[in-house]
Structure 1
């Protein structure tokens, strides 16, 4: 997937501005509930933004660290059986570069 980064956001993404039309100054009391937006305000997400939100929800539900893999690598390091395969590392780096649109 390749995207060009430009200085202007795409027209499908619009900001509705601050909730209730007010911005609290820095250091202001923010303990009061936030007011709901006015009925005329709207926000439309692009398909890509919706996909990114779904991906974010999916990733936030997954554990950040695979504890079983950490234990496996730790045991292999302690026993001296951990092997580094430079060709496999290079292959995965090239795969990642392709996925990110580098070639």
Structure 2
């Protein structure tokens, strides 16, 4: 079976999908308008907690970033004096490829 798509007929969404609220795990009490108790909790894994800690550290400030060097590079790029050493970039890319086992 094939359908021709010519763009002349706008796609309509079924009204049941757009007009009704999303179902919850306590749909019976939510549909009657009764308040739902907030008894559910979320527990993060160690990895997620580590990611949150890292996010807080990075958001706190420029730790380990040489701001003067960054500003100098921005200025060199802006005035056109920054030059890329293609040989050094290629060499480092090949080194990385070898380290990754390629």
Normalising by the smaller structure, the TM-score range is 0.3 to 0.5
More helix by share: 2
Max Rg structure: 2
TM-score, normalised via structure 1 length: 0.38
